[in-house]
């Protein structure tokens, strides 16, 4: 287990956060938390992944502060990295931020639930898997809520706060307080595949990709139409590249399996790009090549 930055403030923070999964979202949530002065234990199975995550957190924190998205003069929370799930035992809240694969999320949440004290807030950072489905994996379903952080969370300050049918009032209130301490506006929504954002967004991305595949318009024209005609800051295909096309396909599969709606079945172009390893920004190529030319 290793330490990074010690907290600057004299007062103990309200939360001690554990984040499980040091990928794109786990690292982004960690950046958000330490940038708001909260101590974080970041857990992953591989020390090399954790080494890269520490470097990414430092770079993201510098960028977010430079852009005024995180306080420039505030305390920096302590960051501890570990491969041991047991090291989350002292956390006041745990965020699961692993890949959007339901069995993996269930395994991680079960381990986290067993490692922390009763009443500890458990959060699934999920973009599509219903919270009540995941509640079957934890010892105390009333402690589990969902938060769908946007990517990158240190730049986008609104998140979906998902209340599952078994989420308790105390957990929902604790999740709201955590979001407030993270400088996030939590929009409370009900449970169901994809919740609000991805129930709509993933179908839009899928249709946009079909339009490109059918030769109706290239990616840049699809996005320009959404930006210019509808006022979207980013078009659906550039958004897909930011999310990660692998994550888009995983989310579409979750939605398709749980709704039976053919509109969520991942289109061939998305599947081809994922098979080729063209995931978007994180690999340098998706619907665009970075920086910025339509592929």
- Residues tagged in the binding site annotation for NAD(+): 21-26, 44, 100, 105, 127, 151, 282
The vertex-141 CA angle with 139 and 146, nearest 5°, equals: 125
Residues annotated as binding site?
21-26, 44, 100, 105, 127, 151, 282
- Buried b / exposed e along 96-133 (16+ C-beta atoms within 10 A): bbbebebeebbebbebbbebbeeebbbbbbbbbbbbbb
Cβ atoms of residues 159 and 186 within 8 Å: yes
* Cβ contacts of 257 within 8 Å, gap of 6 or more: none
Beta strands in the chain (DSSP E): 2-3, 17-20, 40-43, 79-82, 93-96, 121-124, 144-148, 158-163, 185-190, 288-289, 293-294
Pairing between β-strand 144-148 and β-strand 121-124 as defined by DSSP bridges = parallel
Q: How far apart are CA 51 and CA 7, in angstroms?
A: 20
Angle (CA) 153-182-10 rounded to 5° is 135
Q: Which of 140, 106, 139, 111 is nearest to 124 (CA)?
A: 106
Cβ count near 8 (within 10 Å): 12
Query: Which residue, among 209, 210, 189, has the nearest Cα to 198 in the 3D structure?
Result: 189
């Amino acid at each position: 287990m290793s330490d990074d930055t010690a907290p600057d403030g004299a007062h103990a923070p309200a939360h001690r956060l554990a984040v499980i999964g040091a990928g794109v979202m786990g690292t982004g949530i960690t950046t958000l938390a330490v940038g708001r002065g909260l101590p974080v234990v970041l857990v992953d199975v591989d020390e090399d992944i954790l080494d890269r995550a520490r470097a990414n957190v430092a770079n993201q924190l510098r960028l977010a502060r430079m852009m005024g998205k995180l306080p420039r003069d505030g305390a920096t929370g302590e960051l501890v990295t570990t491969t041991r799930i047991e090291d989350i035992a002292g956390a006041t809240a745990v965020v699961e931020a692993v890949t959007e694969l339901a069995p993996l999320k269930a395994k991680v949440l079960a381990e986290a639930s067993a490692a922390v004290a009763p009443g500890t807030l458990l959060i699934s950072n999920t973009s599509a898997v219903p919270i009540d489905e995941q509640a079957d994996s934890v010892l105390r379903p009333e402690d589990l809520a969902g938060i769908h952080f946007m990517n990158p969370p240190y730049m986008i300050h609104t998140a979906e706060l998902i209340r599952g049918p078994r989420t308790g009032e105390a957990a929902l209130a604790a999740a709201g307080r955590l979001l407030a301490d993270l400088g996030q506006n939590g929009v409370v929504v009900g449970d169901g595949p994809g919740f609000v954002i991805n129930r709509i967004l993933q179908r839009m991305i899928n249709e946009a990709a079909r339009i490109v595949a059918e030769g109706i318009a290239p990616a840049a024209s699809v996005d320009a139409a959404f930006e210019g005609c509808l006022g979207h800051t980013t078009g659906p295909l550039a958004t897909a590249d930011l999310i990660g096309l692998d994550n888009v396909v995983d989310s579409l599969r979750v939605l398709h399996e749980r709704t039976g709606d053919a509109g969520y079945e991942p289109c061939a172009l998305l599947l081809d790009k994922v098979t080729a390893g063209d995931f978007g920004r994180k690999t340098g190529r998706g619907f665009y090549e970075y920086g910025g030319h339509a592929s």
